[in-house]
Structure 1
């Protein structure tokens, strides 16, 4: 098969519409000689004369007549495909989006985001998918539209946007003896029984590393798979836990109170991540902007927006056990 030249298709459509070399040239903004050369190329490619003289005019050959409507349809289709997308009316959208996030994010923000989306675009629906791992393949194959919390692996191709910065705090049931001493000392903290949030079932984290530098260690009695579970356990026992500060909101705290950890743990960045194929999609851009504005309006959100390239793709900010 010879190499395809879409310019030939457009030229053929103009020739069959105008039935004139000079008329087709004017329509396409070409010189008559250039259009004559294009007609010669078309004749060689199709093995047909296409247009032949008839007195002072030109007429189409039977083959040209037979393909004229098909050429017109193909030309219009190519022009549609190669044109910018039409202006999107957000209010009239009908589209579903899948967002991968862990339990903490869903508990804290799903209802709020849904209400904001519904108010702006009643036909847009959100589906929150579980986050059992950080595999980037679902972003590549479009089975998810956004990931909240940076995925690991070979994710250099991905795009992302900082939503807010967070840090870890300690949590204990209201009235727990650890809360009586403020600030909490590293020794009294280590002496408590502990519950750890870890999606992978790990018993230690950054808190243990920090305690070890002080010659201390803690005893972890229980591991649960999410930060909401840490809060639930701390509320109903004497075990103390560690959760992101963003999890400590009035509607989630229940019978627990927070305290500042007596050791340093890394701060981390909450991001939304997507595949570059969605960069220019106007509806996807609208949803990203909505999520950005909604989460940046949180009182505890700090810092300015930054591209994902400014921090590691291997950091998963809302993954239980980052601090332990």
Structure 2
């Protein structure tokens, strides 16, 4: 029969981390009875825990001196280290402390379609600077409705209309209701007289389509009347459409509130066909749901959008 080789050991058992809390209290109180009362344990249960600690550390830790207990040199060595470990563990499990915006230093990335920054950016930047001077806002264009950027943390917040390609886990909060309107240059023929579906459709149009598609809710409404827009150009964004409409006789059909600032100096009019309104929403990933700085930013965007929307007669 072979003998065990000296110096080898069996796999170490997982330590009971609850003993760290017990050790911290014992070293703080210097008494089994007082430590038991503080942890709401019986003296016998605390004595058993002390025995386990002695076995785990290979040291008596607390020894009898008259009627009390005194710490051993090993216990004194461990006391500060154990307190730091327990404090760190408790900080992980307790709720986050109150956010100090005056010392917050962070860059937030917000992805949005054209018009959002122009309409809401100035108020959002000014409010953020006043409350949190160390915060920087980084705005990115939104080429699609894919939520990968929110998942991988490239983007902190996103605005837009909910789409089928958005992940089901993405959090959503409605910011404001919007509708499509037609926009033309000042003095355009459509700036005078009654606008009928036929007159609107026959005018030259610049369409907005990020994917090159030429059928949208406006076209579907016209189709029900046997009409179609006279599309002479297609662009990938609202800014380009409005720039063309401003310098020509083309009509740009854009979201009213989302492009409010971009349309300054131009003539807007209500569409002659019924097109459903839609909600512009705020999106974020659930991993940032409880993050205090992110919660502050979300509330800031919501407040600014509500105030700007109300100011413009929403």
Answering whether residue 238 of structure 2 is matched by residue 227 of structure 1, we say yes
What residue in structure 2 maps to residue 84 of structure 1?
Answer: 95
Q: 1:66 to 1:248 in 2, by over 3 A?
A: closer
Q: CA deviation at 1:95?
A: 2.4
CA distance 1:137–1:41, shift in 2 (3 Å) = farther
Task: Name which of 194, 211, 232 aligns with 1:200.
Answer: 211
What is the DSSP-based 3-state SS (H/G/I as helix, E as strand, rest coil) of the residue aligned with 1:246?
coil
Q: 1:267 aligns with which of 273, 277, 280?
A: 277
CA distance in 1, matches of 2:144, 2:62: 63
Of the three residues 143, 150, 174, the one matched with 1:162 is 174
Q: Distance in 1 between matches of 2:313 and 2:88?
A: 47
Corresponding position of 1:42:
53
2:153 to 137, 142, 146: 142
**Larger Rg over CA atoms:** 2
CA separation of 1:92/1:60 partners in 2, compared to 1, >3 Å: closer, same or farther? closer
Displacement of 1:219 in angstroms is: 2.5
Distance in structure 2 (CA, Å) of the matches to 1:104 and 1:135: 19
Aligned match of 2:21: 10
2:284 is aligned with 1:296: no
In the TM superposition, what whole-angstrom CA distance separates every residue of 1:169-215 from its partner, at most 9, and x where no partner exists?
11112222223232x11111111111011222222212211111111
Query: Are the equivalent residues in 2 in contact too, given 1:164–1:301 (CA < 8 A)?
Result: no
Q: Secondary structure at the match of 2:257?
A: helix
- Unmatched segments (≥5 aa) in structure 1: 303-324
Single out whichever of 51-60 and 233-242 deviates more from structure 2: 51-60
How many angstroms does 1:86 deviate by? 1.9
In 1, distance between residues paired with 2:40 and 2:313? 55
- Taking structure 2 as the reference length, the TM-score comes to 0.85
After TM superposition, list the pairs within 5 Å mapping 1:1-324 onto structure 2: 2-3=13-14, 5-46=16-57, 48-60=59-71, 63-150=74-161, 152=163, 153=165, 155-182=167-194, 184-247=195-258, 249=260, 251-297=261-307, 298-299=309-310, 300=312, 302=314
| Other structure's SS at 1:29 match | coil
Give per-residue Cα distances to partners, 1:265-301, cap 9 Å, x unaligned: 2211011111223222232222222221211122357
Question: Deviation at 1:61?
Answer: 5.2
Indicate the larger mover: 138-147 or 19-28.
Answer: 19-28
Three-state SS of the structure 2 residue aligned to 1:17 is helix
Other structure's SS at 1:296 match: helix
- 2: CA distance between counterparts of 1:70 and 1:21? 20
Instruction: Give ranges in structure 2 of 5+ residues lacking alignment.
Output: 1-11
> Do 2:114 and 2:259's aligned partners in 1 also have CA atoms closer than 8 Å?
no
**By how many angstroms is 1:236 displaced?**
0.6
CA spacing shift, 1:101–1:301, aligned 2, 3 Å:
farther
- In the other structure, the counterpart of 1:308 is none
Alpha-carbon shift at residue 67 of structure 1 (Å): 3.4
Matches of 2:49 and 2:150, distance apart in 1: 44
Residues 98-146 of structure 1 deviation map (CA, whole Å, 9 limit, x = unaligned): 1111221112221221112112222222111221222223222322211
- Give the C-alpha shift of residue 46 in structure 1: 4.2
Instruction: Give 3-state SS (helix, strand or coil) of 2:144's partner.
Output: coil
| 1:55 Cα deviation from its structure 2 partner | 5.0
1:259 is displaced (CA, Å) by 1.4
Aligned residues: 300
- Distance in 1 (CA, whole Å) between partners of 2:313 and 2:32 is 65
Which whole-Å CA distance do the structure 2 matches of 1:252 and 1:137 have between them? 29
Q: 1:245 deviation in Å?
A: 1.0
Residue matched to 1:315: none
Distance (Å, rounded) in 1 between the aligned partners of 2:73 and 2:265? 85
**Aligned-partner SS, 1:103:** coil
